[in-house]
Amino acid sequence: MKKTLYTILSALVIGACSLSEESYTNVDKESYLNNANDAETLMMGVYHEMCTEGIYRLNLSMLLALPTDEAKVEGSTIVGPREQASNAYTSTDSYVQNTWATLYEAIYTANSFLESIEEKSGDFTEADKEKCKLYVAEARALRALYYFELVRWFGNVPLVTKTEESYKKATEFVQASPVDVYKFIEEDLLFAAETLPWATDDAVRSDNSFRFSKGGALGLLAKVYATWAGYPLNDTSKWEKAAEAAGKVVKSGKHSLLPSYEQLWKNAANNVWAPQESLIEASFYAPQSNAASSGRVGKWNGVNAVQGSIKGNYNSSMYKVHPTFLAKWRSSWKEGATDLRWGLSFADYKYTLDGKVAITTSNINGKSTYITFQMAMDNTMEGWKADWRKNFCYQIPPAKWDIEKYVDDANQIADNNYSNVNWYVLRYADVLLLYAEALNEANGGPTSDAYRAINQVRRRGYGADVDHYSAGADLDRGMDQERFRQAVRDERSYELAFEGHRRQDLVRWGIYAKAIKETYESLMGWHEQAPNYFAGAAFTTEGKNELLPIPQHDVDLSGFKQNPKW
C-alpha cells in the first residue's frame, strides 16, 4: 500500500451527516468485491477515517484535547477555534457534532466492509481468503478504535454493530451502557490480536506500513483496559487485564524504543514507518495541498512562522504550552542529569522573515540579548528580569512538529493550513508506561517489571542505554504505590507531551477539573498576567467537562439523555 492510504475513500459508503440521519449511499458491491485486492482497497477506506477532521486531523488530536495542565490555546479570548480549545462550547457546537458524526461514519464504513467480506469471500481463492482474514482483523481493530474514542469522549453512546441498524428511525436508537460498549471493543481487539501477526513477522500483506499488527491491537487493548479501570467506570479489576495485554507486547521482543527520541519527529515529518515503536499512526500524505488527504499537524500545533518565512509558507501555531509545565518538568531532573526530551518538546523561538529568532529579547548591559526559556525560568541569574517571563505566558509552542526543522523538501507542502506530517496514535513508549502503571495498580505497589518499563522510557529520554542502569535517569527504588503512581503520571506527561493523551489521562485518573484549577493557580506564580491567557480555566467544571456533550441535534432527534451539566 505504501503511502496511498490517503487516496482510497471507502467505496462502500458515501457520506454521513449524523448517526440518526439516513444519508448512507451504497454502491454495487456485487460487481466490485471480487478478490483480495478489491477487499484491501475497500479496507483502506476504513483506515482513511482516522485522517478526517473530526478524528485525528484536528479534533481529537489537538483541538478538543488541548486544555490541560500542559497546554492551552493561543490568545485570551474564546473567538473562533479558541471556543472549542477552551471548553467554552455548548451542546450545539459544530466541532463536537462533526466528531460524533465522523466516528459513526467510520464505524459504518467498518461494519459495511465486514459484511461485504462475509458475503463475498466464500467465492475467493484460498490464498485470497487467507489475506481477507487479516483484513477483517484490521477492520475490527479500527472499529474498536473508533468506538473507544466515542465511549471515552461521549460516554453513553448507541452501539451500532450492523449497517442495517443505521437506517432505523431516530427514535429507535438507544444509548448503550458504557460497559457494553467496552465489552464490544474488547471482543474486537481480542480477535484482532489473535489473528494479526506481529509487524515484523507479517508474511501475508505485501506492505503493512501504517497498518494494525498484533502489537497495535494488544497495545490498544491495554489502553482500553486502563481507561475502563479509571473514571467514570472505576472497574479496578481491569488493571490486571491491562497489565496482561501490555505485558504481551513488552515480553514479545517484537517492539522496542527507537534509540533517539528526536528520530520519532523526523519520522513523523517524512512518512517513515518504524513499527518497532509506532503501533498505531495516522498517515497523512498528499503530493499537493489537499484537504481530503493532508493534515494539520505542524500547522495548528507547530512553531509560529509568519507568511513566507518557511518552506511551508506559514504556521498559525494555535497550540501553546504552559510555562509552569515546562518549569515543573525541568525541576524534576536529578542533579547533573539532563532530560533531552525537554529541549526537543517546546520552542522558545519562532520564524520570521529574518530567519529563526528568539521569542523575546532584552537589553542587558546595553546589549540586545536573546532570552531563552531557561533564562526566564532561572531567577537567580545575573541580570534576571521578571518581565522576561511575560512573553512565555502565551507564546511557547510545541517543537515536536517543527515543519521547517524536520520535513524534507520532498515531503513539504507550501500551504498555510496543511502538511504531510503524521500523527502517532499509540507508541511503544505509551505501552511501556501503561504496563508500569497497571502493574503498580494491580499489585498494590510497583514490581521489578514496572520499574524496568518506566526506566526504559526515562533512559531513552536522558540519552542513556535503555537496557542498563542509569543513575541520572532511573527512578529511586523503594517507592510505595502512591509515589510510583505519581511518578508514572508525571512520566506520561513528559514522554507524551502534547501528543493528545493528557486530557484523557487526567479524566481517567479522576482529576481533570482539579488539574485545570491547579494550573491556573500555579500560573499566578509565573507571571502576574499569565492566568489571563488561560481561558480554559473559566469554562472547565468538575462533573461536566470529563465528557463532551451528546450533540443537541441527536438529543432532539432521538431523545437521548444528555451528559451531566450540559
Write the pLDDT tens digit of every residue in 469-482. Answer: 999 999 999 999 99
Question: What pLDDT is attached to residue 365?
Answer: 82
Total domains, the chain: 2
CA angle 419–72–488, rounded 5-degree value: 95
Above 80 in pLDDT, residue 21?
Answer: no
- Would you state the cell numbers that stand for residue 413, as one nine-digit string? 507542502
Residues 6 or more apart whose CB falls under 8 angstroms from that of 148 comprise: 185, 220, 223, 224, 227
Which bin fits 385, alpha (ψ -120 to 50), beta or left (φ > 0)?
A: beta
Residue 12 — pLDDT band, cuts 50, 70, 90? very low
β partners of residue 426: 280
Any domain includes 491: no
* Nearest Cα to Cα of residue 121 among 109, 133, 104: 133
> Which residue among 388, 404, 421 closes a domain?
421
Residue 240 lies inside a defined structural domain of this protein: no
Residues 155 and 38 in one domain: yes
The closest of 72, 94, 74, 65 to 423, measured between CA atoms, is 65
Residue type, 230: G
Q: Where are the alpha helices (DSSP H) in 463-562?
A: 481-495, 502-508, 512-526, 536-539, 552-558
Structure confidence at residue 508 (pLDDT): 98
CA angle 268, 98, 305 (to 5 degrees): 40
The pLDDT score that the predictor gives to residue 171 is 92
| pLDDT tens, position by position, 241-250 | 999 999 999 9
Instruction: Provide the residue range defining the domain that includes 47.
Output: 1-195+510-566
Whether 63 is in a domain gets the answer: yes
Contacts of 486 (CB under 8 A, 6+ apart): none
Q: What is the radius of gyration, based on Cα positions, of the chain?
A: 23
C-alpha cell at 343: 529541549
Over the stretch 160-170, which tens digit does the pLDDT of each residue have? 999 999 899 99
CA distance 100 to 17: 10
pLDDT grade, residue 2 (50/70/90)? very low
Instruction: Please give the Cα distance from 166 to 436 (Å, whole number).
Output: 40
Do residues 32 and 178 both lie within one domain?
yes
Least confidently predicted of 27-31, 134-138, 208-212, 214-218: 27-31
Cell numbers for 508, please give them: 481517567
Answer yes or no: is 453 within a domain. Answer: no
Going through 31-130 in order, the beta strands assigned E by DSSP cover: 71-73
pLDDT value of position 291: 61
Is 52 a residue whose pLDDT tops 50? yes
Residue 422 buriedness (CB in 10 A; 0-12 / 13-18 / 19+): buried
Point out the domain boundary residue: 377, 398, 421: 421
Q: Which residues pair with 346 in a beta bridge?
A: 398
> pLDDT higher for 386 or 100?
100
- Residues 144, 11 within the same domain: yes
Angle between helices 428-443 and 214-229 (to 10 degrees): 40
Which band of pLDDT confidence, cut at 50, 70 and 90, is reported for residue 286? low
Query: Which residue, chain included where needed, has cell 462502500?
Result: 12
Q: Which amino acid does the sequence have at 246?
A: A
**Quick check: 105 and 16 in contact, CB under 8 A?**
yes
Q: Is pLDDT above 50 for 390?
A: yes
| Alpha-helix runs per DSSP H in 348-501 | 373-377, 403-406, 428-443, 448-461, 481-495
Average pLDDT of the chain to the nearest whole number: 92
Domain membership flag for residue 67: yes
Q: Does residue 239 lie within any of the structural domains?
A: no
Tell me the per-residue pLDDT of 66-103, one tens digit each, with 9 for 90 and over.
999 999 999 999 999 999 999 999 999 999 999 999 99
Task: Specify the CATH number for the domain of residue 141.
Answer: 1.25.40.890
* Confidence at 288, pLDDT banded by 50, 70, 90: low
Q: What count of other Cβ atoms lies within 10 Å of the Cβ of residue 339?
A: 22
pLDDT, tens digit, for every residue of 488-544? 999 999 999 999 999 999 999 999 999 999 999 999 999 999 999 999 999 999 999
Residue 370 phi/psi, 5-degree rounding, is -70, 130
pLDDT tens-digit map of 224-266: 999 999 999 999 999 999 999 999 999 999 999 999 999 999 9
Q: Sorting pLDDT into bands at 50, 70 and 90, what band is 208?
A: very high
The residues pairing with 355 across neighbouring beta strands, listed in sequence order, are 352
The answer for residues whose C-beta is within 8 angstroms of residue 240's C-beta and 6 or more apart is 438, 442
Residue pair 96/548 in contact (Cβ under 8 Å)? The answer is: yes
Q: How confident is the model at residue 363 (pLDDT cuts 50, 70, 90)?
A: confident
More confidently predicted of 28 and 363: 363
Cβ–Cβ < 8 Å for 527, 389: yes
Q: Which residues pair with 358 in a beta bridge?
A: 349
- Whether residue 242 lies inside any domain: the answer is no
pLDDT at 309 over 70: yes
Do 3 and 145 lie in a common domain? yes
What percent of the chain stands above pLDDT 70? Answer: 93
pLDDT at 287: 60
Q: What is the pLDDT of residues 419-435, one digit of tens each?
A: 999 999 999 999 999 99
In the chain, what's the furthest Cα-to-Cα distance?
82
What whole-number percentage of the chain has pLDDT above 90?
86
Domain stop point among 389, 421, 453: 421
Instruction: Say whether pLDDT at 290 is over 80.
Output: no
**Reported confidence tier of residue 174, pLDDT bands at 50, 70, 90:** very high
The answer on 122 and 9 residing in a single domain is: yes
Phi-psi region of 319 (alpha: psi -120 to 50; beta: other; left: phi over 0): beta
Claim to verify: residue 94 and residue 191 sit in the same structural domain:
yes
Q: What are 445-477's pLDDT values in tens digits? A: 999 999 999 999 999 999 999 999 999 999 999
> Please, which pLDDT band fits residue 319 given cuts at 50, 70 and 90?
very high
pLDDT for position 507 = 98
- Are residue 386 and residue 530 in the same domain, yes or no? no
State the distance between the two ends of the chain, measured CA to CA, in whole angstroms.
43
DSSP 381: S
**What's the pTM value of the predicted model, to 2 decimals?**
0.94
216 domain-assigned: no
Residue 135 in contact with residue 39, Cβ under 8 Å? yes
Return the pLDDT at 292. 67
